[in-house]
Amino acid sequence: MKEYVALASRIRESLVELKTAVNRAIYLKDKAETAVDDDYWDGVALNLHSFYIGIEQILEDVARTSDFWHGSKL
């Protein structure tokens, strides 16, 4: 049970980082739509990539922590 409490804590921490990436992407998208500089779109892409990687890491953490993962490794 302790591993699930720890997992929940890690997920909560990751969600804060995901929210930051989303907010940053939205902010940069708004700037990109009004600016002449295409570099803002690079920032949007980078933050969307960070969001994707963050989701992937959460799912991997869940898989490693779940009983199914342990059973499949035996």
pLDDT tens, 14-73? 999 999 999 999 999 999 999 988 999 999 999 999 999 999 999 999 999 987 655 555
Dihedral sign of CA atoms 64, 68, 73, 74 in order: positive
Tokens of 54: 């963050």
Count CA atoms closer than 13 A to 57's CA, side-chain side: 14
Q: Report residue 74's pLDDT band, with 50, 70 and 90 as the boundaries.
A: very low
The confidence score (pLDDT) of residue 16 equals 98
Tokens of 42: 């690079």
Per domain, the residue ranges of the chain are 2-73
